[in-house]
Amino acid sequence: MLWMSVTPAFAEVTQAQIDQLLAGQKAILDELAQIRQRIEPKSVDGRVSDTGRVAQSLNAGQMSGISGTPSFVIGYSDGDSVKSKKLLRGAVGFSIFQTHLDALLDNDLPRGSGGGV
């Protein structure tokens, strides 16, 4: 029943009107593509663009269990990895940081390693 009441309104739309609407939509899409090209960073000399670095960082965070912001990883570095890491999610108070940092310094950090927290 609904189709029967809507059909007469669409029956009056001409092909020229449809073509004009589609042309307008295409013009908008073309303009958006031009804007994107102007604001999207480009790769220079084979280096990763800012967009690529953001994607790499996002992927690394997700692989580490980070699913939102703010998130903090507390641990010490050992070359390219983080040892004794603890992931804190969300906005946490100083006392939470202090508890985890003290535990890391008291128990896990190798003496004389010079590893940063």
- Per-residue pLDDT tens digits for 43-64: 566 565 667 777 778 888 888 7
Tokens 């084979």 belong to residue: 46
Residues 62 and 52: beta-carbon distance below 8 Å: no
User: How high is the pLDDT of residue 30?
Assistant: 86
Distance CA 89, CA 72 (A): 7
- pTM score of the predicted model: 0.43
Indicate the domain borders of the chain. 64-108
- Per-residue pLDDT tens digits for 66-106: 888 888 888 877 777 777 778 888 888 999 988 888 888 88
How is residue 12 written in tokens? 């009056």
